[in-house]
Amino acid sequence: KPIVVIIWAHNRRKRYTRCIKWRFGCGRNWHFFLLIFCLIHMVTGHIRYSIPEEMKKGSLIGNVAQDLGLNLKRLRLGRARIVTGDSIQYTELQTDKGILVVKERIDREQLCGDTTPCSFSFEVILENPMELHQITVEITDINDHSPTFKRNSINFEISESASAGARFSLTSAEDPDVGVNGLREYFLAENDNFVLKQNSNADGKKYAEMVLQKPLDRETNPNLSLKLIAVDGGTPQRSGTVNIDITVLDVNDNAPVFNQSVYKATVMENSPRDTYVTTVNASDADFGSNSIVTYYFSDLNSGLSDVFMIDEKTGIISITGFIDYEKDKKYELRIDARDQGGLTDSSKVIIEVTDVNDNAPIINVMSFTSPVSEDSPPGTTIGIINVKDLDSGDNGQVNCRIEQNAPFKIKSNLRNYYTLVTDTVLDRESVSEYNITVVATDAGIPPLSTKRTFHLKVSDVNDNAPVFSQSVYNTFIIENNSPGISVLTLGAKDPDENQNARISYILENTNIGGAPVSEYVSVNAESGVVHAVRSFDYEQIKQLVFVVKAQDGGSPPLSNNVTVKLIVQDQNDNPPQVLYPVQTGGSLVAEMVPRSADVGYLVTKVVAVDVDSGQNAWLSYKLQKATDRALFEVGLQNGEIRTIRQVTDKDAVKQRLTVIVEDNGQPSRSATVIVNVAVADSFPEVLSEFTELTHDKEYNDNLTFYLVLALAVVSFLFITCLVVIISVKIYRWRQSRILYHSNLPVIPYYPPRYSDTLGTGTLPHVYNYEVCRTTDSRKSDCKFGRAGSQNVLIMDPSATGTMQRIQSEKSILDEPDSPLEVKRKRTVLLIVDSKGRCWSI
């Protein structure tokens, strides 16, 4: 017969006491006493905190170190950590402060739903020696949800013969909050016919029914519109509203009545669709169509209509969704029976769900360390797992084991927690990786199992420094480079693994010309690419020598150095500079050549330099222009200007030579110098000639200026006249086009006493008429000069001979300036044919 042992484990540092109940058989007493002795030293205490939901991340929950009587050093050396079986870890243990803070947003409604009190538990594990402390955090509700209705309106059809006291079930409001913050009561807007009655289910949920207080009169008020208000008990108070639309039907004075007030049924979880559950029945004493009863779910907010279905005519309830025992162990349905007149009755159906072994164990990894160092001693913890089975009873009992033969073992801890530890010394050179398969099997029939494979790597120690492929790197860069250009890429290798082989490149601090080397070059720490920080000038610096260090990420780190020589190459970026002859702006310098000079006489020498180097500094001299090319030549390499023939008396005194100096770069750069040569035997002759040259030059400059100014004025006047002429032409052309497209007939102008010669005789025309047209041919009108009292009619040839009166009668006596004295009225008829000819009558 099994023996029950109760052990009280007391924490000496804090006043926490925990009861452990253990059952064991008589045949294995010493094994269980040994296990109980270990548990006494491992289980030390239990803490419970209470916090409100929706706290900000990082909010303080409690001081775990102080409440457990532990110091911060113990938490740090013991590798204190939180283990929980949930997929979301809501809390975080800060071992440096010994406090427990909020890690993730905690929503009480999402965590617990309607369950109260709402809490979640987890364990704090410490090693060396191992301690397991349980912490429970209770989440208190805050009023952060308003009552809501699933539908925007509730529609009723109620017979006017409905008697007082008739009940009408109303859609319940849902408030995810619980306790005082949950749904408290309903209010019905004031009316003369209905009152509100509130009830509660067995689970404490409130629902409302609308009770008819005063009979309805369809002839007086065929439709009613009410409001149902649901309020909670929080502070501040929240509410939700739904409209109730009532249509009053005529006749029908008996409501359906259920034969039972409560129906009970049982279903197996995972039952297929259309599985029969139970049948509800209601009868109506009325006759004919008023006795036909329909059944429907009265509470749609719970979402049960997605799981169950009721036949409107027969009242058979069947399964349409998925039944899961782990989600809902019991369902409570509210059924309404309604006749054709809108009278209803309510009943309740309670459905119990029976569990089956349909959930395999779930392996949750609380902690797993990979890689593990090869010098780790046996018994080193590499992982902690939690195994859960959502089934109940024997279906939820789980056993764990390691499947293959490996140098590891699994140890069982309290409450379905297991620890993976090393069983022997590891050797990375023999085996660098392990695949550990853990199998969890439940006790159901048939049993279900789950496998979880852990990939463990054995890490190496940092015993190798990075090595460069070269001891010295030489590279070249052309001057005037763009800042940031890549110069070269350094490469080092480390035979270690992972972080020990991660190499960082560091530029050693040295000075070059009094400035730090970082002002010249930079090194990418990850790729080893050397970049030029600024543009180099060969004329200032020709070579740059610096040191780069490659350092790995081990602890302690190992490093190696390499020398980099950056050689700057010259570029043809400087033109030649003429040193002689000196070019002056205000005075005129000339070289004198006597008329008796022989062939090859040295007139002067053009001296130029180029600050570039190499072939970029090789200069050549060429004669570009000359007053007499047959008299002088320039040495290609030395720039000497010599005579190439005998000077004669016919040669001009003033000789002007233009010499161009080019370097040998690609592309080449050049400079130009003007050399004035005077062919004369005496200085006064030279002076007079060059003085006249200066005056002529000033006169020519003034003349050129006035010629350019006159040309600009003439061009401006010509363009202005051209624009004016074109504008006038365009304007006249547009006017002609407007008259051409007009649809009004053209009325010719006839001078006074014009005679008609069409065989009708001579008709005197005393009045003149002129046609006035607007610029828009579509809106033209006619203007007629008035002579005496007249009515003017116009006949349109295209209007089938109809005439229109366009000016009303007016007596000639009304005209103040009229010289005639006529006491009769005259009507003038103006006729225009298709050819534009006009007659007046």
Sheet holding 670-679, edge to edge: 590-593, 670-679, 654-663, 619-626
Angstrom distances, CA of residue 531 to CA of 484, 535, 550, 568: 5, 11, 16, 14
As beta bridge partners, residue 673 has 659
The beta-strand segments (E) located in 508-639 are 511-512, 515-516, 521-523, 529-532, 543-552, 559-569, 577-580, 590-593, 602-605, 607-609, 619-626, 632-634
Given a contact cutoff of 8 angstroms between Cβ atoms, the answer to whether 66 and 56 are in contact is: no
d(CA 780, CA 783): 10
Give the pLDDT score at 840: 55
Listing from the earlier edge strand, what are the strands of the sheet with 118-126? Answer: 43-52, 131-140, 118-126, 81-83
- Counting as low any pLDDT under 50, the low residues of the chain are 1-41, 43, 586, 694-696, 744-825
CA–CA separation, 13 and 510 (whole Å)? 59
Number of neighbouring beta carbons within 10 Å of residue 260:
12
Starting from the edge strand earliest in sequence, which strands make up the sheet with 398-402, in order? 372-373, 449-459, 433-442, 398-402
Rounded Cα distance, 734 and 729, in Å: 9
DSSP per residue, 352-365: EEE--S----EEEE
Hey, what are 154's tokens?
């509730």
Per the listing, tokens 């000359």 go with 626
**pLDDT in the model for residue 282:** 94
CA torsion through residues 105, 110, 116, 120, sign: negative
Phi, psi for residue 707 in degrees, rounded to 5:
-65, -45
CA dist 339 → 253, 257, 282, 285, 800 (Å): 10, 10, 10, 10, 78
Name the residue among 502, 518, 499 with its Cα closest to residue 510.
Answer: 518
pLDDT score of 406: 85
CA–CA gap between residue 405 and residue 414 (Å, rounded): 25
DSSP label at 500?
A: G
369/94 Cα distance (integer angstroms): 19
In which order are the strands placed within the sheet that holds 408-412?
A: 362-368, 381-388, 417-422, 408-412
Task: Count Cβ atoms below 10 Å from residue 273 Cβ, excluding itself.
Answer: 10
pLDDT for 450: 92
The whole-number pLDDT of residue 808 equals: 36
* pLDDT value at residue 750: 42
DSSP secondary structure string for all residues of 84-134: -SSSS--EEEETTTTEEEE-S---HHHHHTT-SSEEEEEEEEETTTTEEEE
Average pLDDT, the chain: 79
**Whole-angstrom Cα distance, residue 686 to residue 571?**
45
Whether 456 contacts 433, CB under 8 Å: yes
Instruction: Give the CA radius of gyration of the chain.
Output: 56
Q: Cα–Cα distance between 199 and 348 in angstroms, integer?
A: 13
Domains and CATH numbers, the chain: 47-138 (2.60.40.60), 153-249 (2.60.40.60), 257-354 (2.60.40.60), 362-451 (2.60.40.60), 467-569 (2.60.40.60), 577-689 (2.60.40.60)
